[in-house]
Amino acid sequence: MPTITTRDDAEIFYKDWGTGRPIIFSHGWPLNADAWDNQARLVASHGFRAVAHDRRGHGRSSQTWDGNHMDQYADDLAELVEQLDLTDAVLVGHSTGGGEVTRYLGRHGSARVSKAVLLGAVPPLMLKTAANPEGSPIETFDGIRAGVAADRSQFYQDLSTPFYGANRDGSTVSQGLRDAFWLMSMQVGLKGALDCIKAFSETDFTEDLKSIDIPVLVAHGDDDQIVPIRAAALQSVKLLKNAVLKTYPGAPHGLVGDFEKAFNADLLAFIAT
């Protein structure tokens, strides 16, 4: 399997499809690079180079005891970009991966990156605080931690329901897709899974967003039950210098069917211009 070795000796697995301008995909919690296969195949089929990695602790990458936090995730992404010598890249991040992309740009700058896409992304801050009243209370994330610690297999099966909006009238989400979600989720090490909950929920990306100097496509479903749009995309576009907001009416956190087709079209249009 293709991997890079980080400075702290973690092995980071990645996929590398196609040739051309690199489009680099960062996945959400608790998934892995496979979650981006449809989009990776799409861009590689349109003359781009698709690169997608498994975050440390997830999928086929090392399950490190330490380093399961947003700064290290961003540093791992930077090492991937540097070791593969990727330039003029487009970073694409979903959910936690959107946080990873945002922290990368805030921490490492945009010398190798020309555009970014934040899909259902966690910035600027998921946690409800006095300064962030639209966020979710800490009890929400404590409940996620408790569910993962007690019976992660059942928790991930249950989580697939709101993730894909399978609890909404008219949903056509297949059991197969929900099974795939469960399978990817079960590949996350328990320590890394629990640490990542804190990383995606409590990391404040406000200053990172303010510092980003490249065009950013902010895409979000307005029926996202995992990362509610009001505390995420609608706040991020206020902080970014050069952002375009795409809202998908009725769309859940994990885009499927016509929602995914709409995003795919927007993604291709954004990276091609």
3-state secondary structure 22-85: EEEEECCCCCCHHHHHHHHHHHHHCCEEEEEECCCCCCCCCCCCCCCCHHHHHHHHHHHHHHCC
So what's the pLDDT on residue 11?
Answer: 98
Which domain range does residue 64 map to? 3-272
Calculate mean pLDDT across residues 83-109: 98
* Cis omega (within 30 of 0) for bond into 124: yes
CATH number at residue 142: 3.40.50.1820
Residue 120 has pLDDT above 90, yes or no: yes
Model confidence pLDDT, tens digit, residues 216-235: 999 999 999 999 999 999 99
So what's the pLDDT on residue 93?
Answer: 99
Domain tally, the chain: 1
So what's the pLDDT on residue 221?
Answer: 98
| pLDDT range class, residue 248, cuts 50, 70, 90 | very high
Q: Is residue 202 helix, strand or coil?
A: helix
What is the C-alpha separation between 184 and 6, in angstroms, rounded? 23
Q: Is the CB of residue 42 less than 8 Å from the CB of residue 268? A: yes
| pLDDT range class, residue 90, cuts 50, 70, 90 | very high
Mean of the per-residue pLDDT values for the chain?
Answer: 98
Q: Is the CB of residue 87 less than 8 Å from the CB of residue 18? A: no
C-alpha dihedral over 241, 237, 260, 125, to 10 degrees? 120
Calculate mean pLDDT across residues 1-21: 97
So what's the pLDDT on residue 139?
Answer: 98
The contacts of residue 219 (CB under 8 Å, 6+ apart) are 117, 118, 119, 120, 233, 245, 246, 247, 248, 263, 266
Calculate mean pLDDT across residues 19-40: 98
| pLDDT range class, residue 1, cuts 50, 70, 90 | confident
Q: Go through 240-256 and write b for each residue having 16 or more CB atoms within 10 A of its CB, e for each that does not.
A: beebebbebeebbbbbb
The residues annotated with a catalytic role in the active site are 95, 224, 253
Q: What is the DSSP letter of 110?
A: S
Half-sphere exposure of 70 (CA within 13 A, CB side): 28
Q: For the chain, what percent of residues have pLDDT higher than 90?
A: 99
